[in-house]
Amino acid sequence: MSTNYPLTEVPQPYAPRIAEVSRNTAETKIKVRVNLDGTGVSRLSTGIGFFDHMLDQIARHGMIDLDIEADGDLHIDGHHTVEDVGITLGQAFHQAIGDKKGIRRYGHAYVPLDEALSRVVIDFSGRPGLELNVPFKSGMIGAFDTQLTHEFFQGFVNHAFVTLHIDNLKGENAHHQAETVFKAFARALRAAIEFDPRALGTIPSTKGSL
């Protein structure tokens, strides 16, 4: 009996890959809900407009349903809010992805926007690691400090347990640089968490675990 699946079909009886995580500290209160098999719908409220715009790119281009509510100490700056959203999102991904049976594990994407071009490569390896090379042409994009791009991805990597390489290959406009990074991240995520119809029920590692 054939067990082949179309590439777009989520195999059954796989449970929905959904997680909800909260993080409450003296600096921030964060709530994140993810559906890894969603349609790209998002509800975002971090208090930092450009950051919400970038998180929307993750949802839309990753085909991930994403709800994020963040109440942080923005009267100081955006650091704690952006970092803690990264941490909480990473925790939600780690919870939702489960044992990783049947996923492709690796994903990569190149995304252009006018003069800017970025490449992102991800591995759901179980080992946190970040290599980020984005020479931003401006320190601020609206109310978003571009240095916090690193803090967001470092928080995500540490708690999703992934290896992540991000390179902005070209770019003169900081908004374009950031947007290509987040869109490429989303596309790489989508590829990595997809089910592989030729490897359903198996861990994508010769070690037998990730």
Within-domain flag for 166: yes
pLDDT at 14: 67
Determine how β-strand 42-45 pairs with β-strand 65-72. parallel
Within-domain flag for 2: no
pLDDT at 210: 87
Distances (CA, A) of 153 to 55, 129, 178, 200: 12, 10, 12, 29
Domain range for residue 143? 18-193
pLDDT at 208: 84
Domain count, the chain: 1
Q: Concatenated DSSP letters for 57-80?
A: HHHHHHT-EEEEEEEE-TTT-SHH
Helix or strand holding residue 86 (H, E): helix 79-97
Within-domain flag for 206: no
Within-domain flag for 98: yes
Within-domain flag for 199: no
Classify residue 55 by burial, with Cβ atoms within 10 Å: 0-12, 13-18, 19+.
buried
156: phi then psi, degrees, rounded to nearest 5: -60, -50
CA 17 to chain centre: 15
Within-domain flag for 205: no
CA-only gyration radius of the chain, Å: 17
Classify 107 as helix, strand or coil: strand
Within-domain flag for 51: yes
Residues 64 and 56: their CA atoms lie apart, in Å, by 10
Within-domain flag for 203: no
Q: In CATH, what number is assigned to the domain containing residue 121?
A: 3.30.230.40
- pLDDT tens-place values along the chain, 210 residues long: 444 444 444 555 567 899 999 999 999 999 999 999 999 999 999 999 999 999 999 999 999 999 999 999 999 999 999 999 999 999 999 999 999 999 999 999 999 999 999 999 999 999 999 999 999 999 999 999 999 999 999 999 999 999 999 999 999 999 999 999 999 999 999 999 999 999 988 999 988 888
